Amino acid sequence: MKNFLMGTMAAALMVSCASDGALIVPKDTLEECVYMGEKTQFAVWAPDAEAAQLKLYNTAEEETPFKTVDMMLGKDGLWKTTVKEDVKGTFYTFQVKKNGQWLEETAGIAAKAVGVNGWRGAVIDWNETDPEGWAEDKSPQIAKSDIIVYEMHHRDFSIHQTSGVTNKGKYLALTEEGTKNPDGLATGIDHLKEIGVTYIQLLPSTDFITVDETHLENNQYNWGYDPFNYNAVEGSYSTDPYNPVTRIKEFKQMIQALHKAGFRVILDVVYNHTTDASKTGFERTMPGYFYRMREDGTFFDGSGCGNETASEQAMFQKYMLESLEWWMKEYHIDGFRFDLMAIHDIETMNLISERLHAIDPEVVSYGEGWAAQAPAYPAEQIALKSNTYMLDKVGAFSDNIRDAVRGPLGCENAGFMDGVEGNEDNVKFGIAGGVEHPQVAVERWTANPLQHISYVSCHDDHCLRDRLEEATDATEAERLAMVKLAQTAVYTSQGIPFIFAGEELYRHKQGVKNSYNQPDSINAIDWTYKTQYKDLVDYYAGLAAIRHAHPGFCLGDAELVREKLEFIDVEEPCVVAFRVNNLEGIDSAKSLTVLLNGSKKPVAVNIPEGQYVVLAQNGQADAEGLSAYSGSTISASATSATILAEM
């Protein structure tokens, strides 16, 4: 054994570094566990380790392995071994030795199937994870102008007793059709069809650590922004977290059902930080490599979660690329939302975009163009919102339109929708999709309007109802009018409209801003609200139908936006009016005109004389038209919006 260790240590010294001193990064895709029936290949990347072992267990929880195998270091920096027997259904860990000490066991950094709570990898036959018809599963074709994103948490969406769903809080909830609330109105996937959204953004669904999958009877809750195994499916949303095949198959069934129903699926991914670093495969194989570290060995913390990952490191860049490709190829995911994207460097994000578009030219990618605090990397080289124009087909959330329309986070007013003056320029910026425009005073940060994610609320901070109830003393009727106005700005923006699940039902979270670990009593969507606020639901559906019917609201090109989008001069404060002109060949309408009136009094604005169809007015919206109008003005009552189509 002594001679073996001396030999492997010498090998480590030879292969751990390339000629330039950098650690060896394997050229091939990292595959830590490859099951082939009568044998299974295992590998773990730890090029500077002194030794490595594979440990096999009969269950995910037993203390003693039934087999321990020494691994050999190859020239690609991978420690490898092959177990020449059928070990399907077993669980594995790796353990590496550094500086004379064995580090703690880990499932590795790229485990694709895991046992309960994710501490051990699982040996499975991937053919058994495919539901019937999976090979034929296809993502629906959705035009750029039809993209409307709906952000959803699995548990929020279906856990309430009024959801009518059988598999409450589970992946399978989104496979159930015909579900209804107590008054017979559609819930679940049928509701999503009704309101006209086209992309479903799932909050983190990769394996995270804060929900104990062995005690789900305790009704634990978490958003999931504490990633553990990036390539594995979270078990708490499956019907059997102990069975690695079950969680994977049910996740695929969900994707399959959403595709069949006409939706594309975006996965919220959290590569910017991990859970407690000491628990991760990163630190248990290559301590300090995958994170940005201070000279004293402590972690930089641009994420505000205890650490920040280092996308500029060759192996972590490779890891992100291969992980995202895995989710697209194996799970048919159609897009990604990057949490705290400004932690990542621009080069990596552009390489990601290139690789993902090679798989699917229609893939949609965007992220948060900020961090919790300044990352330990040059500002001009990271994916900050201000650098979005340097990103290739990757967008960013627009706090410009968000803060203008609803008031800045932490502010005591509700912004444009509540008649607060001074927000008009940022509303215009949002309408233009963040591109440079001669009538917009705010400096652009997008190169293409589709890089601009237009929204007024998401899972973070107050939902829209709680925001209004905290920041205004308006009546409920007045607040509902504000919601309609705010979302009209979102849906008529040249950017991509984005709404938070349940906003269309006027959901609340009892005033809790950061509800990431709060109980269902705070987070669950009460589906009786669909009955109570049916008028609001219908308005959301009407706005979606209008956008789908009129691609002039999504020109998809900065030059076209500058050419065809014209803001109308308005003397009244807290009013924004605009026209999208000369739409022949683009839209069935010759022009589209919108008046957003955040003021507390009616307004009217002069427009060219013409024959118009009123698509939205006085809190009602209908793509078929509410009425015909012939004239030269557009008007809107207090706190409302009007949309006209010139035919």
Which candidate, 251, 210, 216, places its Cα nearest to that of 233?
Answer: 251
Which candidate, 294, 266, 314, 343, places its Cα nearest to that of 498?
Answer: 266
Which two structure tokens, joined as six digits, stand for 41? 């290949």
The beta-strand segments (E) located in 51-192 are 51-57, 67-70, 72-73, 78-83, 91-98, 101-102, 121-122, 149-152
The beta-strand segments (E) located in 184-226 are 199-202, 206-208
* Residue with the two structure tokens 């909830």: 173
Which candidate, 355, 278, 271, places its Cα nearest to that of 313?
Answer: 271
Query: CA dihedral in degrees (389, 393, 399, 400; nearest 10)?
Result: 50
Q: Is the dihedral of CA 414, 420, 424, 426 positive or negative?
A: negative
- CB under 8 Å to 142, separation ≥6 — which residues? 198, 199, 264, 362
> Are 494 and 401 contacting, i.e. CB atoms less than 8 angstroms apart?
no
> Are 461 and 513 contacting, i.e. CB atoms less than 8 angstroms apart?
yes
Query: CA dihedral in degrees (112, 116, 120, 121; nearest 10)?
Result: -20
Pairwise CA distance, residues 364 & 268, whole Å = 12
> Are 283 and 316 contacting, i.e. CB atoms less than 8 angstroms apart?
no
What is residue 449's three-state secondary structure?
Answer: helix
Which candidate, 129, 165, 171, 137, places its Cα nearest to that of 152?
Answer: 171
> Are 270 and 309 contacting, i.e. CB atoms less than 8 angstroms apart?
no
Which candidate, 342, 388, 334, places its Cα nearest to that of 364?
Answer: 334
> Are 250 and 238 contacting, i.e. CB atoms less than 8 angstroms apart?
yes
What is residue 621's three-state secondary structure?
Answer: strand
How far is CA 233 from its chain centroid?
15
Active site residues: 339, 368
Angle between the N-to-C axes of helices 399-406 and 424-431, in degrees from 0 to 180, rounded to the nearest 10: 140
Angle between the N-to-C axes of helices 476-491 and 424-431, in degrees from 0 to 180, rounded to the nearest 10: 50
> Are 636 and 595 contacting, i.e. CB atoms less than 8 angstroms apart?
yes
List C-alpha distances in Å: 115 to 40, 123, 210, 253, 479.
Answer: 17, 10, 15, 20, 47
Q: Within a 13 Å sphere around the CA of 425, how many CA atoms are in the beta-carbon half?
A: 9
Pairwise CA distance, residues 105 & 111, whole Å = 13
DSSP string, 321-374: HHHHHHHHHHH---EEEETTGGGSBHHHHHHHHHHHHHH-TT-EEEE-S--SS-
Q: Judge residue 306's burial from the number of C-beta atoms within 10 Å of its C-beta, 0-12 exposed, 13-18 middle, 19 or more buried.
A: middle
Report which DSSP code applies to 98. Answer: E
